[in-house]
Structure 1
Amino acid sequence: MGCTSIKRLVNGYLASSLGVSTNNEEVTGIKGRNIPLYQGGYNQKILYISGVAMRISKSQNSPAMKIAEAIAGHLSQNSNSLFNVQVVSPGWIYVELMDSTLADWLHCFTVNRNENSDLEQFPLKEKITCDPHYQLTNSLTIFNIQYAYSRCFSLLRLAHQERLIELDITDVKIFLSAKAIPWLNSDQKLRLNHPDESFLIHQLVKVVDNLVCTDSGSSINWEKAGINLSQAFERFWSSCRIWGEVKIHSPELAQGRLGLLILTQLVLRSVLEDKLGIVAPVEL
C-alpha cells in the first residue's frame, strides 16, 4: 500500500468496483465524477461510508440495495483483505479498515525513507501547496498548534536519547523511526486500543485525508483542523503514558505511542507550514 490518504485508497477500490454487473448492466452511472465518500464519526474504528449506490440507482433502474450489495461483494473479493465491507439500508456501503491495513498506513508514514522508498515527497507523497489567500484569525490557536508540534518533537528527541526508539534525525524538523514500529500484537490486532489513542488516530486520518484529497481540502478551516489535532494529542498525552512502567514492562506499547507522536508532528508540520504558511518551531 503506497503512502497516501486512506480516503483516496478506499475511493480507488470503490471506483474499480463500479464496473460490476447489476441486471446485466454495468454500474457506470457516476463514471468520471467524484464518488460520494466520507469518514464516519469516531467509534474507535476507521470507517468510511459511501452513498454511491443510491446516487446511481435511478439511472441504473435498479434498487439501491441490490447495487450496493453487488459493489460491496466485488470490493470484498478484490481488496486483498484490506477492509471489512457491509451494506446498510437503504443502500449505504460501510468500509471499515482492518487493523492490518491501518498498521500498514501508520508504518508508511512513520518509517524513514530508506525503508519506505515509495515516499516520493516528504512529508506527504502528494504535492501540497499553501493557499496564499488564507488569512490567519487567532494567534492563540496558532500558538497552541505550534506548541503541540514542538512538544511532540521534544518528546521524540528524549525517547531517542534514552534509546527507547531509534530515530532518523537527518531532517532538523522531522523525526522518523529508523526501524519498523510494532503496531500489531501477536493476534494481529492493533496494539493501540486505548480510547484516546484511537481518537488521535481518527484525527490523524481525517487531517491527512483533507491534506491529500483536493476535493475536500479546498473548503477546510485549517486553523480548526490544526487545533482539533492538537487537542487530540493533548488528550492522548494526558492519559497514555510512555515512560515509567510502560517503558519497562511494555516497550512495544511505548514504541507504538511514540509512533503516534511521529505521525502527529509530521501532520502538524504540514498544516502549519504547507497550509497556514507559518513556522513549525522545534522549540518554544
Structure 2
Amino acid sequence: MKFISPSLNIQTEISNSIDLVFQTSLDPSEIPINICYPKYDAHYTSPIALAISNQLGIDALSIAEAIVKECSQTQNPKIASQWQIKVFGKGWLNICLSEQYMLSNIKILEDLIIEGIEYFQGFWVKSHIAMNDSKLPEPIQQYAYARCCALIRLAYRENLIPYEYQSEIINSSITTNQRFTDPHEISLYMRNLAIVEFLDLDNKISLVPNTPKFRSKLSRSLATSFLEFYDQCRIFGVNREIAFKRLSLIRITQKLMLAIAPSEINYSMYL
C-alpha cells in the first residue's frame, strides 16, 4: 500500500470546505496544521479559522463551525473512517485520526522504502556514509537510537521477530481489531508520521519548512518521544500482539531517525 499523508488529506478537505462556504480559495499548504497530541484530546489542530477571521469579517468560532459542518457533509465514507474534525475553544479545529487508520498506517510505515536507507542484517542502515566527514548525533538522539537497536537485537535473540525482514509476518500480527494500549504509543506514532510528511517522499510541495533547524527539532522530538515510550511501554512479557505492534514502532523509529539525520551524521557504531 502507498503512504498517503493524513495532513495533506485533512488540509485539502478544509481548503475545499472554505472555498465552498466562503468562496475564498486557499491552497492546502496554506492551511496550518500541527500535531497536538498528547497535550489536547486530538492528534492535529489547526488555527485556520482564527487566521482568516479578519479577512472574512466573521468571528472565528462561526468559521470553524461552518468548516466542520461542510467537512462532515461532504466527506466520503473512506475519509470519514480515517479522521473526524470538531471545533475546540474559540475557533480551533481539532482532528482525531481513527485507531484503525493509524494501525493500518503502521504496516505502511514499516514497509516504507526511503532513498539512501536499506535493510541489512536485521537493521535499517544508511546506504552510504562519508566517513571522513562523519559526525556523532546529539546525546539524546544517540541514546534513543542505541536503545532502539538494543531492543531490536533482544527481540531477535528472544525469537520474537524473524531476523530476516519479512513484513508479511510482522504485519500479520498487527490487526485493525487492536487498540493502542498506552498514549505513549500514539505519541511515538505521531512523531514518526511528522517525519515521513517532512521527508515529502512523493515530491509534493512540502507542508513544513525544510530547514536544518526544523529538521533538528523533528529529530529531537522523535528521540524524546521514543525515550518516553521506552520508559512506559514494555516489549517483553506482554501480549504477543502488543509486543509486535510496539516492535514495529521501534523499527520504524530506528529507520526514520536515520532518514531525518543530516548526511554527515553517523549512527553505525550503535548497531
Classify the secondary structure of the residue corresponding to 2:53: helix
User: What is the CA deviation profile of residues 245-281 of structure 1, one whole-angstrom value per residue up to 9, with x for unaligned ones?
Assistant: 31xxx11011111011111101111122xx3532231
Partner of 1:279: 266
Partner of 1:258: 247
Gaps of 5+ in 2: 119-133, 201-205
Matched residue type, 2:241: E
- 1:184 Cα deviation (Å)? 5.2
Q: State how far apart, in whole Å, the 1-side matches of 2:176 and 2:28 are.
A: 41
| 2:193 is equivalent to residue 196 of structure 1 | no
Partner of 1:52: 48
Partner of 1:42: 38
Classify the secondary structure of the residue corresponding to 1:235: helix
Matched residue type, 1:37: I
The sequence identity of aligned pairs, in percent, is: 24
Partner of 2:226: 233
User: What is the CA deviation profile of residues 59-95 of structure 1, one whole-angstrom value per residue up to 9, with x for unaligned ones?
Assistant: 4444433332232123234133211211134322111
Q: Which has the higher helix share?
A: 2
Matched residue type, 2:267: A
- 1:47 Cα deviation (Å)? 2.0
Partner of 2:83: 83
Instruction: Indicate if the aligned counterparts of 1:148 and 1:234 stay in contact, CA closer than 8 A.
Output: yes
- 1:50 Cα deviation (Å)? 1.7
Q: Give the number of equivalent residue pairs.
A: 248
Q: State how far apart, in whole Å, the 1-side matches of 2:167 and 2:266 are.
A: 19
Instruction: Indicate if the aligned counterparts of 2:37 and 2:187 stay in contact, CA closer than 8 A.
Output: no
| 2:176 is equivalent to residue 180 of structure 1 | no
Classify the secondary structure of the residue corresponding to 1:225: helix
- 1:120 Cα deviation (Å)? 7.9
Q: State how far apart, in whole Å, the 2-side matches of 1:122 and 1:105 are.
A: 22
Matched residue type, 1:12: T
Instruction: Indicate if the aligned counterparts of 2:17 and 2:67 stay in contact, CA closer than 8 A.
Output: yes
User: What is the CA deviation profile of residues 178-201 of structure 1, one whole-angstrom value per residue up to 9, with x for unaligned ones?
Assistant: 441544564x5x2x3324333323
- 1:102 Cα deviation (Å)? 1.5
- 1:214 Cα deviation (Å)? 5.2
> Root-mean-square deviation (CA), in Å?
3.6
Q: Which 4+ runs in 1 deviate beyond 6 A? A: none
Q: State how far apart, in whole Å, the 2-side matches of 1:282 and 1:87 are.
A: 48
Instruction: Indicate if the aligned counterparts of 1:181 and 1:255 stay in contact, CA closer than 8 A.
Output: no
Matched residue type, 1:27: T
Classify the secondary structure of the residue corresponding to 2:270: coil
Instruction: Indicate if the aligned counterparts of 2:189 and 2:249 stay in contact, CA closer than 8 A.
Output: yes
Q: State how far apart, in whole Å, the 2-side matches of 1:27 and 1:185 are.
A: 38
Instruction: Indicate if the aligned counterparts of 2:38 and 2:183 stay in contact, CA closer than 8 A.
Output: no
Classify the secondary structure of the residue corresponding to 1:49: strand
* Larger mean Cα displacement after TM superposition, 251-260 or 67-76: 67-76
Gaps of 5+ in 1: 114-118, 125-135, 170-174
Matched residue type, 2:266: V
Matched residue type, 2:189: I
Aligned counterparts, 1:129-278, within 5 A: 142-166=138-162, 168-169=164-165, 178-180=169-171, 182-183=173-174, 186=177, 190=179, 192-212=180-200, 213=206, 215-218=208-211, 220-243=213-236, 245-246=237-238, 250-272=239-261, 275=262, 277-278=264-265
| 2:92 is equivalent to residue 92 of structure 1 | yes
Partner of 2:18: 18
